[in-house]
Amino acid sequence: MVQEPIISVRSLTAGYGDVRILEDVSFDVSPGEILMIVGGSGCGKSTLLKHMIGQLPPINGEILVDGCCLNTCSTSEYHDLLKRIGVLYQGSALLSSLTVGQNVALPILEHTDLPKDAVDSLVRIKLSMVYLDGSENLLPSELSGGMKKRAGLARAMALNPKILFFDEPSAGLDPITSSELDRLILQLNKIFKTTMVVVTHELRSIFSVAQRVIVLDKETRGIIAQGTPMDLKNNNAHPLVRDFFNPPGQDVCD
């Protein structure tokens, strides 16, 4: 039985003012899938992500996320959708004046009426899931780069979202820490069947994590290829795709 897509992007044209970054972009994301969005600098990866989470309105086209049409949904419908999605931003976006526990508690306090002891319990559970047990009272400034990413992930997962969006999760991390984060993402996807959409340029993460990849191109303002990482590496004839997945002097499949 074919599953209905949990995300559908239809004929999306997106940009800023008179500048169009993407034109006529269409794709689906299946429930539980890990989809990675890749491409060169300025191709529209982050722009696409911002449209998929409702931060930017499309110029043309339609975006449906878990049954909610972002073009036409009411404020209350969008507010309800926010309970079902989580976002890990590139810089983790932790509030520096709050403790780690308070940061993770923010979406729970905003979207639920749970008593304090229940919120505190949920915070501990979420931090344990990302291997940050006992860090509730630390400030973000006391965390390493990898710990900040995991704290941001705990906050993104605070409401048990059906969909997680990641904007360059490995940015600024050393290779070992990046690999640890990749393994955590895979583990969470396997356990909770969470749909994941990841914007990245890290080839090792792409080959380690992605189930499917779409490749954006700045010149054509659209998708020039999609498929599994190995298929794009070995079988795609487009020169930009071939060069992206086969960088000289690197074997990214180790």
Q: Average pLDDT over the chain, rounded to whole?
A: 93
Would you say 158 and 105 are in contact if contact means Cβ atoms under 8 Å apart? yes
- Provide the pLDDT for residue 170: 87
pLDDT band at 250 (very low <50, low <70, confident <90, very high): low
pLDDT band at 2 (very low <50, low <70, confident <90, very high): low
Task: Give the chain's domains with CATH numbers.
Answer: 1-84+163-172+195-244 (3.40.50.300)
**Average pLDDT of the segment spanning 39-67:** 94
pTM of the predicted structure, to 2 decimals = 0.92
**Average pLDDT of the segment spanning 91-97:** 88
pLDDT beyond 60 at 254: no
